[in-house]
Amino acid sequence: IHVEESGGGLVEAGGSRRLSCAASGSISRFNAMGWHRQAPGKQRELVARISSSTGTYYPDSAKGRFTISRDNTKNAVYLQMNSLKPEDTAVYYCAAEQGWHEFWGQGTQVNVTS
């Protein structure tokens, strides 16, 4: 299973960015998909998750600013990020969950300038 992120880049504080995650085959077979990020010197953290059984989840750091969505017809998951802050700078990873297994992409870098 191949997972690939795209859409990263440089954005000014207060701006928006949409990340995309494409997976090989149908994403409907995954019970959940999530977006995680890792900033330099910090642990990887979950920023959004979408599940067929439990819906969407956002930690406080992302709530109200980030929106995760999925399009099964395009086998894609998106992360819309608004009101970006310099502390949102990180490598963003997409993960597909299937049972106890997780499949990760290589990540896409987002840099938010002040």
Confidence of residue 21 (pLDDT cuts 50, 70, 90): very high
104 contacts: CB under 8 Å, gap ≥ 6: 3, 93, 94, 95
* 8-21 burial code (b ≥16 CB/10 A, e <16): beebeeeeebebbb
Judge whether residue 1 has pLDDT over 90: no
What is the gyration radius of the CA atoms in the chain, in angstroms? 13
Judge whether residue 26 has pLDDT over 90: no
* Nearest CA-CA partner of 95 in 41, 27, 8: 27
Chain segment 79-113, per-residue pLDDT in tens = 999 999 999 999 999 999 998 999 999 999 999 99
Chain segment 59-68, per-residue pLDDT in tens = 999 999 999 9
Ramachandran area for residue 79 (φ above 0: left; ψ -120 to 50: alpha; else beta): beta
